[in-house]
Structure 1
Amino acid sequence: MAQRRPRHAGAAGRAAGDAVRVRARRRPGLGRRGAQPVPDALRADPAADRAHGAPTGAQALGVTLDLGGRELAVVATHLQPPPGRDPVEQAGEVAAFARRYANGRPLVLGGDLNTEPDDPAFAEFTRTGLVDALAAARPLRTSPADDPRTQIDHVFVSPGLTAGEVHAPRTEASDHLPVTLTVTLP
């Protein structure tokens, strides 16, 4: 299977709508190489989607990036439980999926979680040991894009990863502002 270079994250973000762009780099002095995807992608179990009636048809998508010999697991998600259903169970399943998918590799999990930092569904991600990568930048309001009032787009990382340069640039390319950050591997 031939490997393809990823498209520019900015262009992908504009095309995808609710995007979380992640730039990863190694520690200074170790050199920096372009990230190339490893032909290894995994989608959450469709049975879990049906169990929650996920309107988006998918709970999570995992990809593994090869960063010059170091692998980074990246999981994107859009939590959207059916009306009247508690999002905590869906959040817990996505967090567990992400940890299983990472399988010991450094992990970045991000997306439209439709939950605020003080909500129980948000706590499901930190309960599994993930770290709020946006904590130092809070409040980071991302929705709605034309008048951001809520913090429902989030990024979590595995312990040991360092997040910085966090921004939610103004744009109306989506109903949410994108979140950008730099993740540094240990």
Structure 2
Amino acid sequence: MRTVLLVLWSAVLMTVVVAADTRPVDARSAPPPAATHAVEAAGPVPGDPRPRAIRIPSIPVESTLVPLGLNPDGTAEVPPVEDAEQAGWYRLGPGAGEVGPFVVLGHVDSHTEAGVFYRLRDLRPGDRVEVDRVDGSRVTYVVDRVETAPKDHFPTEAVYGDVPRPEIRLITCGGAFDEDARSYEDNVIVYGHLR
């Protein structure tokens, strides 16, 4: 029973797929039901919380944001594998500037190029992450920490669990590349809070 619960609750949400990796990295990935929020939930930043674009000046990153949900098997959707430079936001969670973890996913690379989050591991505490919203406003987050986690021990609750303030999570693949599995062994996760 414990094994089943671990498979269901603490699996990898981030299934970033590089062009060399044509399947989700871990088909067990999904946030716990308590971690899914309505985008319309009230937050401290008035207006429409749906994000339009992300900018991270220190690495540098600039991308529009496509909405992502869950696949029929319960795994997280990822940005289109054909475009490694495209980032996406988890639309079943809080929007930009709302209370809770605003989650953005992106590829680390493809067969031919660096992905949008190739340098995510280089972020440092204090770095800014700017998110433009569809209402024309911009919210700015500040990086708190960067961690690397094995995909088979993904910190689901830390990434998707409820928090009392607006926060952000940026996720991509990292660590060693497993040639047999055609995927990276870890995830790089950035944690931050609304400035």
TM more than 0.5: no
User: Taking structure 2 as the reference length, what is the TM-score of the superposition?
Assistant: 0.31
Bigger strand fraction: 2
User: Taking structure 1 as the reference length, what is the TM-score of the superposition?
Assistant: 0.32
Bigger helix fraction: 1
